[in-house]
Amino acid sequence: MPSLDPEAGIVMPVFENDGLEVLACMLDVRLDLIRELGSCLTEDECRRAGGLTRERDRRRFIVTRGQLRHSLGSKLGLPPSDVELEYGPQGKPRLSRRMPMRELHFCVSRSGDLAVIAFSHEREVGVDVEEVRPFAEADDIAALCFSVSDYESYRTLPPEEQLEGFLRRWTRLEAISKAFGCGLGGAIPSDVQDWALHTFVPKVGYIGTLAAQN
């Protein structure tokens, strides 16, 4: 299991397989690193950060978006500030049509003090990560959102396994939804039947799922 330095802001691979890659980074980093990462953000991204009420949320947004830009810039051979993004109807970021490697797909998720970034050169990809912490509404969410088979298998788990079981199923749903950029409230196309799903543990206390179209 990778060891992520909470101070250094290191971006580290936590999953690599079949043309798919997931990187993870800590979000609560030194102020000088936050300033460095923030320097490559666009005016719109800075406004979005400034619109967040809590200082911790602003810092984590800046680090997440800055690390995304650095990772994309490394893959594209561009400075992070030169990476141009556009957004789908539901706000999912993607590379601008003016960017090289336009076929590079990516997705970002963050929870607690951790962010993950998924990449694929060939197929649409979605990723979700969740901190392992109690969810008072887990049973209600499961009944509302899980398929019949997933809900039944979740409910039969021993009590001590239900939290992790819930999060594994929840991150699968979220990852697929994020691949389409529609969120759980949106409609996933009915002709999509086959997904490659990979559960991973980027850090002790977190669970993630990567979803990619077969």
Is 64 within a domain?
yes
How many independent structural domains does the chain possess? 1
Tell me if 5 is assigned to some domain. Answer: no
Q: Could you give the C-alpha distances from 213 to 120, 153, 176, 191, 194, in angstroms and in order?
A: 10, 24, 9, 12, 7
**CA 42 – CA 187 distance, rounded (Å):** 31
Residue 39 forms part of a structural domain: yes
Kindly report the CATH number assigned to the domain that includes residue 204.
Answer: 3.90.470.20
For residue 65, is it within any domain?
A: yes
| Sequential pLDDT tens for the chain (214 residues) | 445 555 556 789 999 998 999 999 999 999 999 999 999 999 999 999 999 999 999 999 999 999 999 999 999 999 999 999 998 877 889 999 999 887 899 999 999 999 999 999 889 999 999 999 988 899 999 999 998 999 999 999 999 999 999 999 999 999 998 988 765 544 454 444 678 899 999 999 999 999 998 8
Phi then psi for residue 81, to 5 deg, are -70, -15
pTM, to two decimals = 0.90
Q: How many Cβ atoms from other residues are within 10 Å of residue 101's Cβ?
A: 12
Q: What is d(CA 107, CA 54) in angstroms, rounded to the nearest whole number?
A: 24
